[in-house]
Amino acid sequence: MKKYLITLVVAFGALLGVQAQARDLPDFTELVEKQGATVVNISTTQMIKGRRGAHPFPFDGDDAAQELLRRFFPGQIPNLPGMPQEFKNRSLGSGFIVSADGHILTNAHVVDGADEVLVKLTDKREFKAKVLGSDKRTDVALIKIDANNLPVARLGDSTKLKVGEWVVAIGSPFGFENTVTAGIVSAKGRSLAHENFVPFIQTDVAINPGNSGGPLFNMKGEVIGINSQIYSRSGGSMGLSFAIPIDLAMDVQTQLKAKGKVSRGRLGIGIQEVSKELAESFNLGKPQGALVASVEKGSAADKAGIEVGDIILKFDGKAVAESSDLPRMVGSTRPGSKATVQVWRKGSSRELGVTVGEIPDEDGSSRTASRGGKSVEPPPNRLGLVLSVPTAEQKRALGIQHGLIVDEVKSSGARSELRAGDVILSAIVKGSQVEVKSPAQFNDLLQGLEKSGSMTLLVRRGDAQTFITIKGASDK
């Protein structure tokens, strides 16, 4: 009997423990009931012209597959033999209502190039929508439907979001409308390749094609982000999804609503991350800031006196911890406004005043230049680099006054990221830049490589400039 009572007590205790754990788990039902109606399904149609006498597009009718192609291959349709003269390219996405009179936020890639945008509400009503404006740099778009008294999503403050906090996504993955998924915030301020203006919120919420443009809610039922991208090797969710902070999205929305486009500040510089080796080369105490690799002639930075080799530590009083911070700071600054830039130059900091420029609507076309050939190949130097002095024609084509062209990189004991076609413009010697003008001069600079173990070079690669640290053969 005693043994039976002990077993009963243990079982009862375990049951209480399970109930206590259940009480601690989040309950999303109230959030979904109150905010679910603010989420909409978006389908778009784009007429694509192809070749005559062809086979149908292989994904025609597969909305989810086409949305995936549309996201990762914008504006590109596979060049298949026998493509029909004209067919409909359909795409699926999500969005959420931000005003009772029919303004809806979604992703720019959801509506990009669409000839028709159709919005479906949770009460099954459907409306044709007008695209008021879209911003590809942040992937935010504002559309409008002709309706009134619509339920409006509550907006939160993404700056107060904490890593580890529960979040909920509602959208239409693979066309399954009003699907609810949940997870936690994995990281904040995440930088992604080619996405300089968005400090993404990373989550492990299940996001799939069709979720794009849908809201990310906190536990208060407030929208704190717009689901935009996933990292996937399979095309489906792998627990790595990224959302645009709602604060940034609403700033974009305000401009899109007012004038249909977004105006951003611009300095006119090329920057790169400050590594440990680069910080040592410039006598900077620790890796921080944004290293200026190029300055566009006549730009706001050029007029302010910012130079190649400067490290921008602060912009308008805000510290630049990483190079990715600077484009966001400058981009959010109103063009024409004045700001103070703190730079690190030749071992000390100084402040410069700048009048912020504006990013043009379209980027200029890239410039290419022919490097030419050599009838007699010079021998490689101690780094295994075959160098040549550019001709006057090459200097004009490249837009440079001096430098050495890397014709070939041969095997050597040195560790280098230099490639054939690079142009070495200058070297950092004791914190100062020294222009490189001849192979002999460059070989003299290399004499100190055995002692210092490394040297930093300013290199022109294509249309961009970058700093590269080279290490001697003895520095393993």
Q: Would you please indicate which residues are annotated as catalytic (active-site) residues?
A: 109, 139, 212
Q: In sequence order, what DSSP letters do the residues of 209-257 get, joined into one string?
A: TT-TT-EEE-TTS-EEEEEEEE--SSSS--S-EEEEEHHHHHHHHHHHH
The rounded distance, in Å, linking the Cα atoms of 467 and 460 is 9
Amino acid (one-letter) located at 104: I
Task: Find, among 398, 369, 142, the residue nearest to 252 by Cα.
Answer: 142
The backbone torsions φ and ψ at residue 119, rounded to the nearest 5 degrees and listed phi first, read -110, 130
Task: Tell me whether strands 454-461 and 432-435 are parallel, antiparallel or unpaired.
Answer: unpaired
20's tokens: 């206590």
Provide the Cα torsion 295, 298, 302, 307; round to 10°.
40
Task: Find, among 348, 339, 354, the residue nearest to 302 by Cα.
Answer: 354
CB 418 within 8 A of CB 470: yes
| Cα distances (Å, whole numbers) of residue 85 to 47, 62, 75 | 10, 19, 17
**Total length of the chain:** 476
| Cα distances (Å, whole numbers) of residue 404 to 167, 223, 278 | 54, 54, 21
- In SS3 terms, 112-149 reads as CCCCEEEEECCCCCEEEEEEEEEECCCCEEEEECCCCC
CB 92 within 8 A of CB 111: no
CB 328 within 8 A of CB 351: no
Task: Find, among 298, 312, 360, the residue nearest to 335 by Cα.
Answer: 360
